[in-house]
Amino acid sequence: MEKRRIQVLSPGRVNLLGEHVDKYGGIVLPAAIDRAILLTAESHNEQVLRLHALDLGHKVEINLNEIEKKVDILGNPLPTWARYPAGVAWSLRQDGFKITGVDCEFRSDIPIGAGLSSSAALEVAFAVLWQELGGWSMDRPTLAQYSQKAEVEYVGVNCGLMDQFACANGEKDSVVLLDTRNLEHRSIPLPKDIAIVIADSTVRHNLVTSAYNDRVNDCQKALEVIQQKHPNVKALRDVSPKMLEASKSLIPENAYKHASHVVGEIQRVDVAIDCLEKGDTRSFGKIMLETHASLRDLYEVSCQELDQMVEIASGFDGCYGARLTGAGFGGCTVNLVELSKAREFADFLAGEYKQKTGINLPVFITHASSGAHIV
Give the active site residues.
163
Residue 323: partners with Cβ closer than 8 Å, 6 or more residues away: 19, 288, 289, 291, 292, 295, 310, 333, 334
d(CA 109, CA 34): 9
d(CA 8, CA 27): 28
Work out whether the CA dihedral 300, 303, 304, 305 comes out positive or negative: negative
What value, to the nearest 5°, has the Cα angle with vertex 174 and ends 172 and 180? 120
Q: Are 176 and 13 within 8 A, CB to CB?
A: no
d(CA 370, CA 375): 12
d(CA 34, CA 305): 25
DSSP 74: T
